[in-house]
Amino acid sequence: MVDILHRVGVVAPLDDVYTAVATPEGIAAWWTTDTVGKSEVGETLALRFGEAGGFDLEVRELDPAGHVRWRVVEGPAEWIGTDIDWRLDRRGDYTIVLFGHEGWREPVEFMHHCSTKWATFLLSLKDYAETGRGRPAPDDVKISDWH
């Protein structure tokens, strides 16, 4: 089992970052505009990226104090069964985001790609929470032939 790990610091209140991660409206502003579903524990969020497909995420944890966790239940084979974990913490002027995409079975090339791509989405989340403007798909940062 291998994990993708990231950390960014967002100059915004923890509540704002939490709302950006924990609600479909928030996610649509930094990950993909095509995000629907109900953000309650046990419910599912559906994210789509046009022809590239997308993911269904089952909500496992929602704690406004600073913890969100999803299980990937539909999407690319490598993603199914993995968990995406968010921990938020205040430090000085920053809300620190500790991110993990956990439980990949193998460190395949697609995992390398997703690691870099996650970084661009975390910076999109940071921009959105700080300035009101992120770069969700289809306007996301393109990093390679795999987009």
Three-state DSSP class for residue 121: helix
60 contacts a second copy (rule: CB under 8 A): no
Q: Which residue in this structure is represented by tokens 């968010």?
A: 86
2 contacts a second copy (rule: CB under 8 A): yes
Answer for which of 15, 50, 105, 116 binds a second copy (CB under 8 A) is 116
Output the six-digit token pair for 58. Answer: 């089952």
**Residues within window 91-110 making contact with a second copy, judged by CB under 8 A:** 91-94, 96, 98-100, 107, 109
126 contacts a second copy (rule: CB under 8 A): yes
Whether 122 contacts 115, CB under 8 Å: no
Nearest approach in angstroms of CB 143 to a second copy is: 5
Is the sign of the CA dihedral 36, 41, 43, 48 positive or negative? positive
Task: Output DSSP code: residue 133.
Answer: -
Nearest approach in angstroms of CB 80 to a second copy is: 19
- Cβ closest to a second copy, residue 43 vs residue 107: 107
- Cβ closest to a second copy, residue 24 vs residue 110: 110
Three-state helix/strand/coil letters over 53-97: CEEEEEEEEEECCCEEEEEEEECCCCCCCCEEEEEEEEECCEEEE
Q: Which residues bind a second copy (CB under 8 A)?
A: 2-9, 91-94, 96, 98-100, 107, 109, 111-113, 115-116, 119-120, 122-123, 126, 141, 143-146
